């Protein structure tokens, strides 16, 4: 509808002014101001140096009558507000099916998106959970708009932190669990090994030296014993991650390891060194002087001759393109590496200019705890699972007296817990930090994942009752006056499109929360299933439309919709 209104305005003004400067059509926050609103008169009046209200009235006059508008008003400093006729809303309701809101705007787009990215031999911590929530939701939104999306998980399997963990493993190999031990036990062992290695690296010079040597051995695969333990550790890590991805509902198309791209990256940097893009630094390291571009210097190949993360990222871009000729590459990470990515992308712009143009980095906020920054090094870390488990405990407590089978309870507990966590991550704009308060995240009051799930479940329950009473949904008999619910439902496709354009799932979260509230309010004021009511069929059809939108909307956020909870 936004585009349609824009066209109507442009058409109406075609013979009147030469050119209309860029203007916007919006859904106003205050619904009393209309269903859509535009600032075109303000923009135009400024350009022509005219009175905004007079300009607005002129435009209104030029638009004239149009059956899609119930009313057009000029208000405030010169806004033009459009009130859409009820028929537009009710006609749209009739078309709602499970494909409602799916766009075609991105049909030709081939997007590769890189997220989650845990490091083997280290915990899957809450930061990875955040990256997963953001990346998965964006992937689903892109797909919903018609794009062809490939999901990539880029995992570190070499480098200093892996060496630290490996050193820890080798030091504690006598207490290593059997391969047949539960995944949780093996994961715990790996976590402890990393914390130990990391602490010793900081505090013990001898250990530090050994770890640096070990790093080289791992990279070169030159030591049989090391290789053996490395393979076991890697296998355990991946088993563990697989289990988590299943639970989270993410299916990656490509798993790429750092070791696969280090050679490629090194070659790219060496080529760039010859071309003068990179320089030799103090100890023979190959560096990129970011200062030339208002950034800072970073090392791409260290003095040991090993490629750093920077070089590997260049190799990664090329490998991804080989696997899938994308026209857009999105990388989701924590925002602590924002400046790193600026430098890396700047260097990429020189050495792989075509790919750099297609690459976009999205830095999500950090998760902070009241007591300070978490760190896997000090062991003060909340792992992804421990967070989900903690929430699951509370859900379990809440539904323990419900008449549900144990199997149903288990499924509900998991879906509600993951929904609660996902919602609290996605409800705010991507870049800002989340102050994680356990009590609030697991409180299901107000805006929360469970609130969305509950509203949907309630609607489903109503629909079940309607079926039992044999009242069929129908839009044949439509009431004279429509409510906010019909309008709210109508906006869904535009909100999804907005979320996609801005790469911001939180628009969708806010919308769904509002929609659920409007439905709950409607539910409180109307008896939906009522044989004596002529409009019952309409109300049931409306409830059905609401349920369809909620289901699709929640899916886009990675939140499961439940028949019962």
Partner RNA sequence: GCCCCCAUAGUUCAAUGGAUAGAAUGCAAGAUUGCGGAUCUUGUGAUAGAGGUUCGAAUCCUCUUGGGGGCACCA
Rounded CA-CA distance 219/24 in Å is 54
Among 159, 272, 315, 384, binds RNA (CB under 7 A): 159
Q: Is 521 in the site for RNA (CB under 7 A)?
A: yes
Among 234, 298, 320, 422, binds RNA (CB under 7 A): 298
Q: What share of the chain is helix, strand, coil (3-state, %, to 5)?
A: 55, 10, 30
Residue 177 vs 479, nearer CB to RNA: 479
Q: Is 414 in the site for RNA (CB under 7 A)?
A: no
User: 316 in helix, strand or coil?
Assistant: helix
**Helix or strand run (H / E) with residue 190:** helix 183-203
Among 86, 232, 510, 535, binds RNA (CB under 7 A): 510
Give, as ranges, the residues between 532 and 561 that touch RNA (CB under 7 A): none
Please report how close the Cβ of residue 346 comes to RNA at its closest, in angstroms.
13
Extract the tokens encoding 271: 């080529």
Q: Is 263 in the site for RNA (CB under 7 A)?
A: no
Extract the tokens encoding 386: 């421990």
Please report how close the Cβ of residue 185 comes to RNA at its closest, in angstroms.
25
Among 4, 11, 46, 472, binds RNA (CB under 7 A): 46
Q: Is 75 in the site for RNA (CB under 7 A)?
A: yes
- Dihedral sign for Cα atoms in the order 82, 88, 89, 95: negative
Give, as ranges, the residues between 80 and 99 that touch RNA (CB under 7 A): 81
Q: How many binding residues for RNA (CB under 7 A)?
A: 99
Instruction: Work out the number of other CB atoms within 10 angstroms of the CB of residue 24.
Output: 11
Write the CA distances from 115 to 137, 318, 384, 513, integer angstroms: 11, 17, 15, 26
Which range touches RNA (CB under 7 A), out of 10-18, 99-107, 171-179, 454-462? 454-462
Give, as ranges, the residues between 314 and 343 that touch RNA (CB under 7 A): 335-340
Please report how close the Cβ of residue 186 comes to RNA at its closest, in angstroms.
22
Q: Say which DSSP state 445 is in.
A: S
Extract the tokens encoding 80: 């033009």
Give, as ranges, the residues between 196 and 235 that touch RNA (CB under 7 A): 215
Please report how close the Cβ of residue 291 comes to RNA at its closest, in angstroms.
9
Q: Is 116 in the site for RNA (CB under 7 A)?
A: no
Give, as ranges, the residues between 162 and 201 that touch RNA (CB under 7 A): none
User: Exposed, middle or buried, 225 (CB in 10 Å: 0-12/13-18/19+)?
Assistant: exposed
Q: Is 128 in the site for RNA (CB under 7 A)?
A: no
Q: Is 410 in the site for RNA (CB under 7 A)?
A: no
Instruction: Work out the number of other CB atoms within 10 angstroms of the CB of residue 496.
Output: 24
Q: Is 444 in the site for RNA (CB under 7 A)?
A: yes
Write the CA distances from 559 to 260, 342, 426, integer angstroms: 33, 33, 11
Residue 52 vs 558, nearer CB to RNA: 52
Residue 354 vs 501, nearer CB to RNA: 501
Among 125, 150, 186, 506, binds RNA (CB under 7 A): 506
Strand pairing of 286-288 and 69-75?
A: unpaired
Give, as ranges, the residues between 467 and 486 that touch RNA (CB under 7 A): none
For residues 53-90, one letter each, b for 16 or more C-beta atoms within 10 angstroms of the residue's C-beta and e for the rest, the string is bebbebbbeebeeeeebeebebeeebbbbbebebebbb
Q: Is 264 in the site for RNA (CB under 7 A)?
A: no
Q: Is 375 in the site for RNA (CB under 7 A)?
A: no
């Amino acid at each position: 509808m936004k585009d349609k209104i824009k066209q109507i305005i442009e058409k109406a003004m075609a013979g009147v002014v030469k050119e209309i400067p860029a203007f916007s059509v919006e859904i106003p926050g205050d619904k009393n101001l209309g269903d859509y609103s535009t600032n075109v008169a303000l923009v135009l009046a400024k350009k022509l140096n005219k009175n905004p209200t007079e300009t607005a009235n002129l435009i209104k006059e030029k638009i004239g009558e149009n059956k899609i508008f119930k009313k057009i008003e000029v208000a405030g400093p010169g806004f033009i507000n459009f009130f859409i006729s009820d028929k537009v809303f009710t006609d749209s309701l009739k078309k709602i099916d499970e494909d409602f809101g799916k766009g075609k705007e991105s049909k030709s787009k081939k997007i590769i998106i890189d997220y989650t990215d845990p490091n083997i031999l280290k915990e899957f911590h809450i930061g990875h959970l955040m990256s997963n929530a953001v990346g998965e939701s964006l992937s689903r939104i892109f797909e919903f708009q018609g794009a062809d999306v490939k999901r990539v998980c880029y995992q570190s399997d070499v480098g200093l932190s892996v060496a630290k963990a490996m050193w820890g493993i080798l030091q504690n190999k006598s207490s290593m669990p059997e391969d047949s031990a539960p995944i949780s036990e093996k994961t715990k062992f790996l976590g402890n090994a990393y914390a130990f290695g990391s602490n010793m690296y900081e505090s013990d010079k001898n250990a530090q030296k050994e770890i640096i040597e070990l790093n080289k051995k791992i990279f070169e695969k030159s030591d049989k014993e090391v290789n053996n333990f490395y393979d076991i550790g890697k296998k355990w890590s991946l088993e563990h991650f697989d289990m988590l991805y299943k639970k989270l509902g993410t299916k990656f198309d490509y798993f790429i390891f750092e070791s696969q791209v280090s050679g490629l990256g090194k070659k790219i940097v060496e080529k760039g060194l010859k071309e003068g893009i990179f320089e030799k630094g103090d100890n023979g390291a190959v560096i990129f002087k970011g200062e030339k571009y208002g950034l800072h210097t970073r090392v791409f190949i260290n003095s040991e001759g090993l490629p750093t993360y920077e070089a590997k990222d260049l190799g990664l871009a090329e490998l991804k393109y080989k696997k899938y000729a994308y026209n857009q590459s999105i990388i989701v990470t924590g925002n602590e590496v924002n400046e790193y990515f600026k430098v890396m992308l700047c260097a990429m712009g020189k050495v792989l200019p075509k790919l750099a143009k297609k690459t976009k980095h999205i830095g999500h906020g950090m998760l902070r705890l009241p007591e300070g920054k978490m760190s896997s090094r000090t062991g003060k870390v909340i792992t992804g699972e421990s967070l989900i488990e903690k929430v699951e405990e509370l859900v379990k407590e809440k539904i323990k007296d419900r008449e549900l089978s144990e199997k149903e309870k288990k499924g509900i507990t998991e879906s509600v817990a993951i929904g609660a966590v996902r919602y609290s991550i996605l409800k705010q704009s991507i870049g800002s930090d989340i102050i994680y308060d356990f009590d609030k995240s697991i409180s299901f009051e107000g805006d929360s994942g469970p609130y969305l799930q509950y509203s949907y479940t309630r609607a489903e329950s109503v629909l079940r009752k309607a079926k039992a009473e044999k009242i069929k949904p129908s839009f044949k008999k439509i009431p004279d006056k429509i409510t906010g619910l019909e309008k709210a439902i109508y906006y869904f496709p535009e909100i999804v499109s907005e979320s996609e354009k801005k790469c911001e799932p939180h628009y969708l979260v806010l919308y769904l929360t509002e929609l659920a509230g409007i439905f709950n309010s409607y539910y409180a004021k109307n008896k939906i299933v009522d044989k004596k009511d002529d409009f019952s069929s309409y109300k049931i059809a409306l409830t059905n439309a609401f349920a369809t939108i909620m289901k699709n909307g929640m899916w886009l956020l990675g939140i499961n919709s439940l028949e019962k909870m």
